[in-house]
Amino acid sequence: MTDVVRLEVQGDIALITVSNPPVNALGHAVRAGLLQAFQDAETDSRVRAVILICQGSTFIAGADIKEFGKPPQAPSLPEVIDTIESCSKPSVAVIHGTALGGGLEVALGCHYRIARKDAKVGLPEVKLGLLPGAGGTQRLPRLAGVAKALDMIVSGQPISAAEALEHTIIDELFEGELAAAGIGFARRLLDDGRGPRRSGEQTRGLEGADNEALIRAKHAEVAKRMPGLFSPLRCVAAVEAAVKLPLAEGLKRERELFVECLNSPQRGALVHSFFAERQASKINDLPADVKPRAINSAAVIGGGTMGVGIALSFANAGLPVKLLEINEDALLRGLQRARDTYAASVKRGSLTEEAMEKRLSLVTGVTDYGALADADVVVEAVFEDMDVKRQVFEQLDAVCKPGAILASNTSSLDLNAIATFTKRPQDVVGLHFFSPANVMRLLEVVRGEKTSDDVLATAMAIGKQLKKVSVVVGVCDGFVGNRMVFQYGREAEFLLEEGATPQQVDAALRNFGMAMGPFAMRDLSGLDIGQAIRKRQRATLPAHLDFPTVSDKLCEAGMLGQKTGAGYYRYEPGNRMPLENPALAPMLEAASREKGIERRELEEQYIIERTIFALVNEGAKILEEGIAQRSSDIDVIYLNGYGFPAFRGGPMFYADSVGLDKVLARVRELHARCGDWWKPAPLLEKLAAEGRTFTEWQAGQ
């Protein structure tokens, strides 16, 4: 045994306790300790049953992330679980907190499982580009059935203890102390004369269903919903092995598929994404002793789609929030929008009526700024106009209590200028939510020149409280996400002038893995929003920088996207399915003719490089300017806010994987042909010359 696993014999029951804070991860010491403890319990003549519990707030919550990428050390997890399952004395896993990944596989290796009522279990390996490689794909279907096993393994989402009981993954729910519950259950087993019941020998989950049909259906679903992803289809193949093969052969097939996933480039990208998200919460120059301010109440200015979404984010976190609008009619529309949003969740079954009413009770509508006097944080979500922002922040400065955080949801305007509208610029910070704010995980926390350390720390704490992925960014036009997406969208529109269609560009980028194509995305958000930004930029950017004109032509014709029924695509009433817009073709011809461009056929790879490398080049400039702390922060922003495919790791990681020398060569070619929009970023040139990557630069500067 090891220091992190101990064995104690109480009468005829062995109590094995894992203590490896904070989450009892399955590092080498834990694996070795478990192996030795179960072997000792097996050979101890006093022992008739074995209980496995964990100290702290959780059962085994998965692999030890400190061992990611390191050579494996014996004993392997499959070896440990095989030893547990083969014991001749009944064993009971006592689950509390979460049993995830290898933790659930260990529990499945035990002969019985009980769980505290608030526990959760799951197999999230697919989110790291892997599959459960220690028997999870073989034992879970034998207990829960093929349908439930496929759902859990392919989605990676955990389920509640109650649901696990329903699907016979666990045997009993309990409340109270772990050891007492485990010993009580084991005592009943012995009194009833029940011995080992090995998951690998069960057949009940494989009976009474057309498993081959379930496999085919899931395979088709994954191919359609997750195109390009490597590990989900291997997850399906592993479960299929459980259906068709004896346990020993199924475990062998599972291991083969696991190794395939392990060696896939996607796995490296997904692991990068995993660590990048955790790194994003760390602020390099923030003193460790800075304490965030207490946030017990919030307010939101503006009852439009964004403002309501932000208000609901606070309500979802259990915080009372006041929603301010300019008059009663506008306020009633905002409050109805909030109710309608929750009602849609109730209709989908993701929220109960009771929960909806509880959350709505936290949202109070007001029309008087004086009602915000006691708010701990106020988020402005009004129209993107600096004069409008000035009016809002001057009033907030007048009524809000000392120490209140004054936050702007601006997506592109100068936060430092906004801060000057108050006498407390140190209390002003950007909280840039993404629409719909109550759904999207990303939150750009914009640090102004005068933003104090404790306000920045509080803004990050608010993001955590709202269950957002928060990333600190500096002040510039568009911050990180929108500054880069401007380059991406502009190049996509230039492609239309060269000869592409919106359908072709969108399809190429969806094939690359983007959640939406750029033109479907523009139609969704509204073309007038982009036009307002372009007008502002045209007034400030050098005259020699050419802008595409197709979007301008659509706006002039009143075609603003889904809101008007036509944009880059046409939409039938009540239907968001994009259809070809016949009015667009002559606009494309006119735009090309005005620029003196002869339209031509464009290859998919050219479309991808023209748009994605525009992101990369701008990202390199952002890094060099210090607007983003690290390249992985840019990746987190694009993975969580812009639909960039997780299996490519984000734009900066993707550039590293392509090779910065190859990226730079293409950027230089486009610079020579397309003008100064494509001027190579100095950092990209430097790293390519040195044979380094953005990731290496981030680590060592």
Run of H or E including 699: helix 694-700
Q: Is 105 a catalytic residue?
A: yes
Task: Residue 378: name the closest of 301, 463, 444 by CA.
Answer: 301
The encoded tokens of residue 484 equal 């880069």
Question: Are the CB atoms for 96 and 164 separated by under 8 Å?
Answer: no
Question: Are the CB atoms for 4 and 38 separated by under 8 Å?
Answer: no
Taking the C-alpha atoms of residue 574 and residue 495, their distance in angstroms, rounded to an integer, is 30
DSSP string over 204-257: GGGSSS-HHHHHHHHHHHHHHHSTT-SHHHHHHHHHHHHHHS-HHHHHHHHHHH
- State the amino acid at position 659 in one-letter form: G
Catalytic-role residue among 8, 67, 85, 125: 125
The encoded tokens of residue 86 equal 């083969």
Question: Are the CB atoms for 221 and 112 separated by under 8 Å?
Answer: no
Taking the C-alpha atoms of residue 344 and residue 354, their distance in angstroms, rounded to an integer, is 14
In a 3-state reduction of DSSP, which class is residue 100? strand
In a 3-state reduction of DSSP, which class is residue 294? coil
Catalytic-role residue among 8, 42, 79, 105: 105
With both helix axes pointing from N to C terminus, report the angle between 651-658 and 631-641 in degrees, rounded to the nearest 10.
120
Q: Which residue has the tokens 């989908």?
A: 348
Bridge partners for 7 per DSSP: 16
Cβ neighbors of 71 (< 8 A, separation 6 or more) are: none
| Residue 196, Cβ density class (10 Å: 0-12 exposed, 13-18 middle, ≥19 buried) | middle
Taking the C-alpha atoms of residue 9 and residue 30, their distance in angstroms, rounded to an integer, is 19
- Tell me the catalytic residues: 105, 125
